[in-house]
């Protein structure tokens, strides 16, 4: 029996690839179900099963009530039997005793087979789910098991199956049964029949993982992939960079004689891959992204997040690409809207801008001679007459001067005056400029975009939302949904600002008869404290300090509508008061001294242990 059980147990372990504890737990749970079914036990009764993995012997333990006379042995046990388990047991107590039925092993084997199989299947699904959730976003390999027009079924490890939808295949790829392929785990969902594993070969992260596998410098973090834009099966652009001196990131990805990149191209069904070096300067970055075309000039409109790219006539088709593919990939790679123009078209637009824009009138007078020369070149081109390379260069220089001047004029117009900035800041609490963007609780990707755009504090974002909301919306990666999340976050955030605490000025010694008439003439002296309105006030201080309304909770709408005179006045502390503040906070309390027959002021000092000590003023 021992050998038979051990052999069967080990066979199940090897076949199902499950931990030993999982199989034992499944068998014990099945034994409990078999016991309940055999003796018709209640589901409310606690029942446990223990199995010896060496012999296969099963022992059932059940919770029973201690009684004198047993009427139902399924739920009751005599006191003598209960004392064997618990010597302190008394009548009416509940004890857990062994209650294995006779021939239970043979009966349970027939009853528990389906339960054991069901529990093992559930354990398999749980293990598969955990394993492939860890593999999400990684490359795995499998064997093709079925092919149809909607998807491809791939057999994976742990007897799992993955599905690759038709839109996640590389266009033009043809698969055959029993081919081994590689794909990235795009999504893992829990289904009724086990985990649903969605595979992809068209996702850009598939290219990222392939490059990590083929290029050791990327895997070890020496070379970093900054951005990827891809049209599967046709073309892809990858921007790479490195922080170490003496390393060529593009050369590391290409490899000696292109051996590294060719292995990736072969895996991607001959997809063309352009490797470019990333640059923090958007002009240089866009120039490289348009490659293999040569660029004459890049002119940025940061307010609209648009880049105008000027190229020579012979480079215009190469810059745009087949069906605009090169321009689309460059725009996705750089997160800039790219407008590609030939130098002739750009020169015509520059002339029109000089002649029609009122703010360009001064430059039009200065460039009158160049304007006439460029107009003549364009007229000859329209007639079909040839243009020399020097004239093309002159057109490019003319476009450069006009575009740069137009951008300078636009920046000057968008420049915020100190008066506008001061007026906008009046409605924002100063404490907002001391708190980070974390206070808004924004989504992680929105937070990363804002911090990358140099919005460091909550006040910076509030100021931008008031002065230049279109600039926030124009940030790369910020769309209507992200903008709505930002607006909602700043509207729901409440800041707490410091307010002044008034302390009565010590009064001179005054007879009790004249105290009531002079009380109205006492002027309170404001003293700046670091306490906020939520801090409790001691009883002694409350007698001398008038209660103040809590105006520290300022919402987003109130910040933008708050008048300067509505902000609680805050006076700067003098050097003497700051020094005194280090020694401890003070308050003054006035009491009538019966021995003297007069009012005496006593200063109360708050000590470090939180107690107050009074001294005569």
How do residues 600-612 score in pLDDT, each as one tens digit? 556 555 555 555 5
Q: What is the 3-state secondary structure (H, E, C) of 580-603?
A: HHHHCCEEEEEEEECCCCEEEEEE
pLDDT for residue 122: 82
Beta bridge pairs of residue 153? 146, 163
Average pLDDT over residues 95-105: 79
**Per-residue tokens: 98:** 């062994």
Question: How distant is the alpha carbon of residue 435 from its chain centre?
Answer: 19
Task: Assess whether pLDDT exceeds 50 at residue 504.
Answer: no
Q: In degrees, to the nearest 5, what angle opens at C-alpha 138 toward C-alphas 132 and 142?
A: 70
548 DSSP assignment: -
Crossing angle for the helix pair 480-492 and 458-467, nearest 10 degrees? Answer: 120
pLDDT at 98: 86
Residues forming a β-bridge with 66 = 77
CA–CA dist 275, 236 (Å, integer): 9
Q: What is the mean pLDDT of the chain?
A: 78
Spatial contact of 276 and 295, defined as CB atoms under 8 Å apart: no
**Average of pLDDT values for 6-15?**
72
pLDDT at 536: 40
Among 127-136, 279-288, 463-472, 524-533, the minimum mean pLDDT is found in 524-533
Q: What is the 3-state secondary structure (H, E, C) of 151-215?
A: EEEEECHHHCEEEEEHHHCCCCCCCCCCCEEEEEEEEEEEECCEEEEEEECCCHHHHHHHHHHHC
> How far is 116 from 99, CA to CA, in rounded Å?
21
Inter-residue contact 224 to 240 (CB < 8 Å): yes
Tokens representing residue 188 in the block: 């893992």
Q: How many CB atoms lie within 10 A of CB 599?
A: 16
For the segment 290-301, the average pLDDT, to the nearest whole number, is 91
Report the alpha-carbon distance of residue 403 to residue 106 in Å, rounded. Answer: 92
Neighbours of 372 (CB within 10 A): 9
Domains of the chain and CATH, by start: 2-119 (3.30.1480.10), 135-202 (2.40.50.140), 282-406 (3.30.300.20), 418-493 (1.10.150), 501-552+569-616 (no CATH)
Phi-psi region of 493 (alpha: psi -120 to 50; beta: other; left: phi over 0): beta
Q: What are phi and psi of 553, to 5 degrees?
A: -80, 105
pLDDT at 10: 74
Which of 5-9, 50-54, 166-170 has the highest average model confidence (pLDDT)? 166-170
Strand 297-301 relative to strand 306-311, pairing: antiparallel
Burial of 521 (0-12, 13-18, 19+ CB in 10 A): exposed
pLDDT, greater one: 54 or 128: 128
Distance CA 192, CA 58 (A): 32
Rounded to an integer, what distance in angstroms lies between the CA atom of residue 192 and that of residue 182?
A: 26
Q: Does 18 or 173 have the greater pLDDT score?
A: 173
Burial of 583 (0-12, 13-18, 19+ CB in 10 A): exposed
| pLDDT at residue number 330 | 95
pLDDT the model gives residue 127: 85
CB distance 125 to 134 below 8 Å: no
Q: Binning pLDDT at 50, 70 and 90, where does residue 592 land? A: low
Residue 136 or residue 531, greater confidence = 136
**Per-residue pLDDT for 324 more than 80?**
yes
Find out whether 311 and 395 touch, Cβ atoms under 8 Å: no
pLDDT for residue 112 is more than 70: no
**Cα(252)–Cα(525) distance, integer angstroms:** 72
Q: pLDDT, tens digit, for every residue of 435-481? A: 788 888 888 878 888 877 777 788 888 888 877 777 777 777 777 88
Cα–Cα distance measured from residue 597 to residue 461, given in angstroms and rounded to the nearest whole number = 62
- Angstrom CA distances, 154 to 131, 160, 176, 439, stand at 16, 9, 11, 46
pLDDT band at 276 (very low <50, low <70, confident <90, very high): very high
Query: Which pairs count as long-range contacts for 112-116, CB under 8 Å and 24+ apart, including other chains?
Result: 112/27, 112/30, 112/31, 112/33, 112/34, 115/29, 115/30, 115/33, 115/34, 116/26, 116/27, 116/30
Report pLDDT for 511: 47
Check pLDDT > 50 for residue 509: no
pLDDT at 558 over 80: no
> Phi/psi at 327 (nearest 5 deg)?
-65, -40
For 227-273, how does the pLDDT look when each residue is reduced to its tens digit (9 = 90+)?
999 999 999 999 999 988 889 999 999 999 999 999 999 999 999 99
The per-residue pLDDT for range 336-384, each reduced to its tens digit, is 999 999 999 999 999 988 888 888 888 888 888 888 899 899 998 898 8
Exposed, middle or buried: residue 154 (CB in 10 Å: 0-12, 13-18, 19+)?
buried
Q: End-to-end alpha-carbon separation of the chain, Å? A: 97
């Amino acid at each position: 029996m021992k050998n038979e059980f051990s052999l069967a147990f080990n066979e199940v372990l090897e076949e199902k690839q499950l931990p030993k504890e999982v199989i034992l737990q499944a068998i014990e749970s099945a034994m409990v179900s078999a016991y309940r079914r055999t003796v018709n036990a209640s589901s409310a009764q606690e029942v446990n099963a223990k199995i010896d993995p060496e012999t296969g012997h099963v022992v059932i333990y059940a919770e029973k009530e201690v009684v004198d006379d047993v009427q139902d042995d399924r739920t009751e046990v005599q006191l003598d039997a209960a004392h064997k388990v618990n010597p302190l047991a008394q009548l009416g107590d509940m004890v857990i005793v062994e209650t294995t039925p006779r021939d239970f092993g043979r009966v349970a084997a027939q009853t528990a087979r389906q339960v054991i199989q069901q529990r093992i299947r559930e354990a398999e699904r749980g293990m598969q789910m955990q394993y492939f959730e860890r593999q999400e976003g990684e490359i795995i390999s499998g064997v093709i098991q079925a092919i149809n027009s909607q998807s491809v079924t791939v057999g994976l490890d742990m007897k799992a199956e993955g599905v690759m939808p038709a839109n996640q295949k590389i266009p033009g790829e043809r698969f055959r049964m029993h081919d081994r392929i590689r794909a990235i785990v795009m999504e893992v969902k829990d289904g009724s029949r086990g985990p649903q594993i969605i595979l992809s070969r068209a996702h850009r992260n598939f290219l990222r993982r392939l490059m990590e596998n083929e290029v050791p410098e990327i895997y070890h973090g020496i070379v970093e992939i900054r951005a990827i834009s891809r049209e599967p099966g046709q073309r892809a652009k990858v921007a790479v960079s490195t922080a170490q001196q003496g390393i060529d990131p593009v050369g590391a990805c290409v490899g000696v004689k292109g051996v590294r990149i060719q292995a990736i191209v072969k895996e991607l069904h001959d997809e063309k891959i352009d490797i470019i070096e990333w640059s923090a300067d958007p002009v240089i970055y866009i120039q490289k992204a348009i490659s293999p075309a040569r660029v004459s000039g890049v002119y940025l409109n940061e307010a609209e997040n648009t880049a105008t790219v000027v190229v020579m006539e012979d480079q215009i088709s190469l810059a745009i690409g087949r069906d605009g593919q090169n321009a689309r990939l460059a725009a996705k790679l750089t997160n800039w809207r790219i407008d590609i123009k030939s130098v002739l078209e750009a020169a015509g637009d520059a002339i029109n801008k000089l002649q029609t824009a009122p703010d360009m009138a001064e430059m039009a007078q200065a460039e009158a001679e160049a304007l006439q020369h460029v107009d003549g070149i364009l007229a000859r081109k329209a007639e079909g007459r040839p243009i020399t390379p020097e004239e093309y260069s002159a057109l490019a220089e003319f476009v450069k001067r006009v575009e740069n001047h137009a951008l300078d004029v636009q920046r000057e117009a968008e420049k915020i005056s100190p008066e506008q900035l001061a007026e906008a800041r009046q409605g924002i609490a100063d404490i907002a400029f001391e708190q980070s963007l974390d206070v808004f609780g924004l989504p992680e990707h929105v937070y990363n975009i804002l911090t990358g755009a140099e919005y460091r504090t909550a006040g910076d974002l509030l100021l931008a939302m008031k002065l230049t909301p279109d600039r926030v919306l124009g940030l790369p990666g910020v769309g209507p949904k992200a903008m709505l999340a930002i607006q909602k976050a700043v509207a729901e955030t409440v800041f707490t600002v410091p307010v002044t605490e008034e302390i009565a000025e010590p009064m001179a010694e005054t007879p009790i008869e004249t105290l009531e008439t002079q009380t109205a003439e006492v002027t309170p002296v404001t003293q700046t404290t670091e306490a906020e309105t939520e801090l409790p006030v001691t009883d002694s201080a409350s007698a001398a300090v008038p209660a103040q309304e809590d105006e520290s909770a300022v919402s987003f709408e109130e910040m933008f509508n708050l008048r300067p005179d509505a902000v609680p006045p805050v006076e700067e502390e003098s050097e003497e008061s700051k020094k005194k503040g280090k020694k401890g906070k003070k308050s003054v309390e006035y009491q009538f001294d019966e021995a003297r027959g007069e009012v005496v002021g006593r200063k109360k000092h708050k000590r470090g242990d939180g107690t107050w000590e009074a001294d005569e003023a």
